[in-house]
Each structure stands twice: as C-alpha cells, then as structure tokens.
Structure 1
Amino acid sequence: MDPNKGRTDLINRLSPEELQRKLDNETFTRKTVSFYRYVMVENPGELRNQLFKAWKELDCLGRIYVANEGINAQMNVPAHNWDQFVAFIQSHEYLKDIPFKIAVEDDGKSFLKLQIKVRQKIVADGLNDDEFDVTNVGNHLDAKEWNQAMDQGALVVDMRNHYESEVGKFEGAITPKAETFSEELPEVLEILKGKQDEKVLLYCTGGVRCEKTSAFLKHHGFKDVNQLLGGIIDYKRQVDQTQEENKFQGKNFVFDNRLGERISDEVISTCHQCGETCDTHVNCSNVRCNLLFIQCNNCGTTNHGACSDSCKEYILATPERKIELENIHQYKPNKRYFKMA
C-alpha cells in the first residue's frame, strides 16, 4: 500500500503542460545542483516525506532517490531560497556538509517538478546488498592530481553509460558499451582482468557511480583505485579556477531536461541520421517512442524531430491514421538508445 495515498501535500498533482507553463512564467532564476551520500538510512520512506515537505516549501524541483544506502539528488533551487536550502542541508543529520556539484551550464529549466522516490538503491547495481562493502572506497583525486595521474599512464575508466561517453570523455579513456550501470560493473571487471596491480582512475558525472565502483574493484583485489573528486561537473569548476589543463573532450551528459552541458569546445560525436558532426541529444518527437538519440538541426527539421520514418509518419498523420499506426508499430523500441551501425 502506498503510504502517501491521499496525502496531496506529498505528491505532485499538476500535468506536464501545467508544470511547463508555471516554469516558463517564473520571474526568478534557479540554481541547478547535484549531491549524493552513501549513509545508512533507517527509514527511507520517512526521510522521503520529510525532504518532500521541506523542499516543496522552498519551491525546489528535481529528481531525488532515497534508499537504505543513502541519497542521490539532482535538483534546482530558486536563487532567492538558496540560503534557506543550504541551512536545511546543514541542519540535517544525513546531509550535513554534503558536497555540492553546481551545474556548469544552467538555464534554470533543468526540472519540471519535484520527485522524491524511495528505491532499493540510490544507484541500481544488480548486486546483493552484502556482496561488498560500499564504504571501502578508493582515493579521491582533485583536478591537478587527476591530470598528473593521467600523464603518468594510469588506466582511465568511464563509469557512465555508452550514450554519455559518446558525446564526451577523457582522452584515452576506456568507455564500456553498457547502457546501464548494472551491466557496466561486470563489463569493467572483465576489461580490467589481470590489471589488479595497476593504477586505475574512475570518473562519472558527479561521483556517485564511481564511489560504488571503487569499492567494487577493491573488493575484487584492485590495489590502487582512484576516483575523480566531484566527478566531471566539479572537474570543470576546478580547471576553470586553477587554470589546469582541461583533459575532458566534449559534453557532459546530464539526466535532466538540458541533456548536456559543454565541458570543452570539441564535438566528438555525429548525428545518428546523417553522420554530420553533432552532439545534441534529443528524444524522439513521437512521445509513444521517446527514443534518445543524437540529431542535428537539419535532420531535426527534415524528420520533424522523429528518430525513424515510421515515427515521422506518425507525427504527420491524421488522428485516424495515428490509431492505425499505433496498432501496426506499437512504438515500443527494443533499444533504450539509438546506436550507429
């Protein structure tokens, strides 16, 4: 039974269209922030409701996961409520002194609503809870230390999904082909087989996946495991502040409405439809498909934002024809992501 059933103060009731209009009509700015912490949470449901009430009052938006193993948050906060938000964080037993990662590029439109969900884990890994000690993590390297380790020939491993590394990565990084973190852990273990004595560098968007991966690799006998402090987001902030060399190429994929923020001027990927240089992710304009793929402006115009001829046909069809096409195609892509052959 849903413990929040009937509690309209703890859920969202507005439609996506209403939420978008509300966001578009705002006259203030928002600050996009992400943070995580692995910490033993005794009652995730109670924490979820507590956070929802506090952050709703501050008009925060975002996607937050709470589990017995901790909290993982990506959200935005009205600039005029930022100090109150920080004060709440600092007063909370689970969140005090939690490191923030502030968005590199921020238009304030990163999220439409506030969603806080109780999950089995804050990052789905497909592993049993007692399979390894998630608190036995590797070393955290700042941007300068990270660059030095790269220059010395350390193994660099991208712990993000394929569609993330396709548009941005560190020079020479190992980029697994997996589309989920649970698929990636065994793939990385196989790739690094026999390299337990080598220096390994792990990176991801904000650090939450690397934190778990470092503990996973140490459990499997890797002796020198390191992760990028604050992930790609904080790396960009550090190199800008210290004038260190930026060794990241391209965009950092983000899991909000922006779908990416530029870390360097390089574009390392191509449009999935015409092959032209492009690193703009979109979702198919046929909402019944919604496939994530890379599409340039020209193809977006020519194909009306669709990923395929069948989806384009659906977009342009009459209401009657749409019903026929739904029965024919069903629009349930067997891939979560479009890949070039």
Structure 2
Amino acid sequence: MQLYNKLSAKEREALIDQAGTERLTLSFYTYAHIRNTEIFRNHLFINWDKLEVLGRIYVATEGVNAQLSVPAPNFDAFKEHLDSISFFENIRLNIAIEHEAKSFLKLKVKIRNKIVADGLADDTFDVTNKGVHVDAFKFNELIEDPDTVLVDMRNHYESEIGHFKGAVTPDVDTFRDSLDIIEEDLKDHKEDKKLVMYCTGGIRCEKASAYYKHKGFKNVFQLEGGIIEYTRQVNEKGLENKFKGKNFVFDHRRAEKITEDVIANCHQCGAVCDTHVNCANEACHLLFIQCEKCAEAMDTCCSTACKEINSLPYEEQKALRKGKGNSNKIFKKGRSEVLKYKQ
C-alpha cells in the first residue's frame, strides 16, 4: 500500500502536461481533536492519492491545515470524501482567485505538533474559544470605525506586497512574533477598542483570536476565510475592495493579484515591483522581490556572489554545498544585507 509520494516534481509535471486537465487550487483548515494522527494521516493520503490530489497537508492533534490542488473532474469525489469525515463535513473551502495546474507537484501529508506554529504551551488557552467571524460586508464596516484597530497577522514578506487600507502590519518573521507585539501595543485598549484581524485564509486569525480573548481582549473579530474569501465576496456582491495589491500564497504561484495596485519595490534596484522570486543559487534560495531588469542582469540571483556560484557547472555547485547546512537567510525570507532596497 502506497503511503508516500514516489514521483519527482519533474515526473509529476510531465504527467500534468500529458493529462491536460484543469486543476483547482484550494485551501481549508479546521481545529478538531484528532487522537491518532498517524492513522488519520494515512487515511487522507490513500484516498486523496487515488483522486490525484496534490498539495501540502498538515495533521496534528489540534486539527488539519491543507493547501492543495484537485483535478476539476475529481472535485465532486474529493468533496464527497471530505463530507464523509464528521469535522470536515460542509467545511468552507477557500478556492483560489487564480488557478495554476502546477501550483503543487507532490502530495505531502505530514504529521505536525500543531497546524499553526505558535510557540505556546497547548494548555494556556482554548483554541476553540475564538473571536467573532465577520464577512466582507461587516469587515468593511468595522475597519471604518475609529474605535477599530485592524491588524495583519501575516509575516513581513506577505504584507509587503499587499494589505488592507489602514492595517497595522508588524515587521515580523513568524506568527509567534506577532502575538506579543500586538498585545504589548494594545495593552491599554483591551476593553475600549475593537481588535479586528485578518490573514490569508483565516487559520492564523482563528488561533490569534482565541489567544487574545484569553489575554483579556473583550472585542475580538476576525475576517472569515481571510483575504481569499473576502475577495470572492467583494467580487460576487459588488462591495468596495479595501485590499490593495497581491495576496501572498504558499505554493508555486507565490501570489494572487487582488488589485492592479503595486505597493512594493524591487529589493535590488528600488523599482516599483511586487514579484517574489527565490535566488537561483540553490545554496541560498532566498525569497525576495526582483524586477525583470534585475532578474536578467543577476540571473535571478540575490547577489553577485550567488550569481557567480550559479554560473558554475552543476556538479561544482553540489560540491560547494556538500556538508553545509542551509543559510539562515532562507528562513528569514526577504532579509539579507545584500538587498539594498528591502524596506
């Protein structure tokens, strides 16, 4: 019985091209109590592999976080399987604004301690005691209220290319970093301000809302379904779109364009640009913003040193990487002394 992906990304890419089938990119999450994560993980892999589902799915005792793509002809069968699981039944699926057949190239179902890393002890608060969910209409009303503090619960490289008007965008590398910063900044307003939060699809805000209620905040709200669901609702209902720029996504697309606004800059020359790339030097792989002109001049590398390494024969590059761990710059996305125009 196959329980793990056996095809390389290139092999899967070739199969996708050969099939020529439309694929739907989507995400969902749920907080639930899962006793045996290994059995549940294997159950998901076996059933979704049959349906040619690809993506990155995390299973933990606190729930499931899934980002994946499904062949359009198999979507009904996939939804039927979801509904056969009690805590997945009628779950909201965040359907991507832009679809890409190769947004994922492998099926990875992994067991994690948590579906959202928060650095907190599990018994400090009840993650199911969440804040008030609001739709796009109510969200637009709330963020115009002078007693509202709107907070982006994403990381710096996400909010840099797109965020809501008037949002506080913490300059952080991790979700955990945001929790203490926001609490400290708003410690004197736990009762008189409305704390309204948003993220990509809602999963981080769900946990953050429970955390801030535990910390004494009285009026906690979160954008249901995050930026993805908000965009769908404003388009369907003709509401004012208060988001500007792109929504960063964690697959091969890297971002979805929500509006035509470009609010970021190339990290190398400062030109108006919001295109994320990974440094072509595999020993670096730094995520940063690079315009087309710099991409051509630098061979999609973040620095002259990386460009020189990337120009070497592949075997020489492998030899240079041998025995060396990945640079910490990889995990501090968009942060490096070589990026002159990183704000």
Q: Which bin holds the TM-score, normalised by the shorter protein?
A: over 0.9
1:136 aligns with 2:105: no
Cα distance in 2, alignment partners of residues 317 and 152 from structure 1: 57
Match of 1:10, SS state, is coil
Q: Distance in 2 between matches of 1:77 and 1:232?
A: 21
| Aligned counterpart for 2:195 among listed residues 200, 203, 206 | 200
Show CA shifts across 1:163-210 (max 9, x none).
000001001101111111122211222222212021011000000000
For normalisation by structure 1, the TM-score amounts to 0.94
1:250: which partner in 2? Answer: 245
Q: 1:64 maps to what in 2?
A: 57
- The amino acid across from 2:295 in the alignment is G
> C-alpha distance in 1, partners of 2:59/2:325?
34
Structure-2 change in CA distance of 1:323 and 1:100 (3 Å): closer
* CA deviation after TM superposition for structure 1 residue 68, in Å: 0.5
- In structure 2, the CA distance between the partners of 1:42 and 1:271, relative to structure 1 (3 Å rule), is same
On the 8 A contact 2:149/2:194 being kept in 1, the answer is: yes
Residues 1:313 and 2:323 are matched in the alignment: no
Q: 2 CA distance for matches of 1:323 and 1:238?
A: 48
> Identity of paired residues, percent?
49
Give 1:1-341 correspondences, 5 Å limit. Answer: 9-153=2-146, 154-197=148-191, 198-318=193-313, 322=317, 326=321, 332-334=327-329, 336-339=332-335, 340=342
Cα distance, 1:108 vs structure 2? 2.0
Does the 8 Å CA contact 1:35/1:100 hold for their aligned counterparts?
Answer: yes
* Deviation per residue, 1:12-48 (Å, 9 max, x gap): 1222222222233331010111111001111111110
2:187 partner SS: coil
Could you tell me how far 1:151 is from its partner in structure 2? 1.2
What one-letter code is carried by the residue in structure 2 that aligns with 1:187? Answer: I
The alignment partner of 2:268 has SS state of coil
The answer for unaligned runs of 5 or more in structure 2 is: 336-341
Aligned-partner SS, 1:64: strand
SS at match of 1:194: helix
Which residue in 1 is equivalent to 2:338?
none
> 2-side partners of 1:10 and 1:123: how far apart?
24
Deviates more, 1:20-29 or 1:110-119: 20-29
Q: Using a 3 Å threshold, how does the CA distance of structure 1 residues 328 and 148 change in structure 2: closer, same or farther? A: same
CA distance in structure 2 between the partners assigned to 1:289 and 1:319 by the alignment? 15
What's the CA shift string for 1:226-274, capped at 9, x where partnerless?
Answer: 0001100000000001111000010000000100001111110000011
Aligned CA RMSD, in angstroms, stands at 1.8
Structure 1, 201-210 or 86-95: larger mean CA deviation? 86-95
**Counterpart amino acid of residue 162 in structure 1:** H
Change (3 A) 1:21 1:200: same
Q: Equivalent residue of 1:108, what SS? A: coil
Aligned length: 334
Deviation at 1:323, TM superposition (A): 6.4
2:88 counterpart SS class: coil
Deviation at 1:325, TM superposition (A): 5.4
Provide the TM-score with structure 2 as the length reference. 0.93
- Structure 1 residues 101 and 304: alpha-carbon distance in aligned structure 2, compared to 1, 3 A threshold: same
The gaps in structure 1 that reach 5 residues or longer are 1-6
CA pair 97-275 structure 1, distance change in 2 beyond 3 A: same
Measure the CA separation in 2 of the matches of 1:70 and 1:320.
42
